[in-house]
Each structure stands twice: as structure tokens, then as C-alpha cells.
């Protein structure tokens, strides 16, 4: 599991490209894209990630999954949370930042 600075979480290899291309990508890499964007965190911002077993968060996750996939009985036992906090636009030379995503 790798949290990439471009807003994706990959499962095999890192996703090094910044441009948010349409899916599937040409290399066929496996990843989820909660914040697929042109990001350059060298200019500012932080990327945080954690694993949690917080009961309230897990209950909400379980409820959402079961709501959108009613044929599945799902109960979350842990969650992975990644946040791209005040990261700059790729190529930015100013203090403009992307909104906080969590």
C-alpha cells in the first residue's frame, strides 16, 4: 500500500504521473483515486495517513458500503485514512492550494 503525492493510493507500484488521465491507465496499475489531481507537495502542504479502528468511523463506513451495495453484508473492522492537506497545484508558484480532502 503506497500513498502517492498525486492523490492516489496504489497497491503494487507507486503511481508517479501527476496528470489525472482517464481510467484505466496504460500501465494497468492497481490503485484507488480518492484525490487524483495535479499536486506538488514540495511547494507546501502535507500528506497524512493512518489506520484506524475508531468504532464511530467504522460504523459510518459499514453503513455507506451496505447502502450502496445492498447485496453485500459488510462490516468494517479497520479503515485506512489518507489526507492531502493544503497541497499546492502542480507547477504553482504562488500560495494557491487545493482544498483539504480526507
Q: What is the pLDDT of residues 29-81, one digit of tens each?
A: 788 888 888 887 777 788 899 999 999 999 999 999 999 999 999 999 999 99
Bridge partners, residue 83, by sequence: 48
Average pLDDT on 16-21 reads: 72
More confident residue, 5 or 51: 51
Are 51 and 79 in contact by the 8 Å Cβ rule? The answer is yes
Q: Residue ranges per domain, the chain?
A: 2-85
Average pLDDT on 8-21 reads: 81
DSSP alpha helix (H) spans, the chain = 55-68
Specify the DSSP class assigned to residue 65: H
Amino acid at each position: 500500500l503506497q500513498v502517492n503525492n498525486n492523490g492516489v493510493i496504489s497497491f503494487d507500484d507507486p503511481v508517479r504521473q501527476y496528470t489525472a488521465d482517464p481510467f484505466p491507465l496504460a500501465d494497468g496499475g492497481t490503485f484507488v483515486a480518492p484525490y487524483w489531481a495535479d499536486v506538488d507537495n514540495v511547494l507546501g502542504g502535507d500528506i497524512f495517513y493512518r489506520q484506524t479502528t475508531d468504532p464511530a468511523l467504522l460504523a459510518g463506513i459499514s453503513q455507506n458500503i451496505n447502502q450502496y451495495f445492498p447485496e453485500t453484508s459488510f462490516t468494517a473492522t479497520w479503515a485506512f485514512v489518507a489526507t492531502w492537506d493544503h497541497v499546492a497545484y502542480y507547477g504553482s508558484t504562488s500560495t494557491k492550494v487545493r482544498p483539504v480532502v480526507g
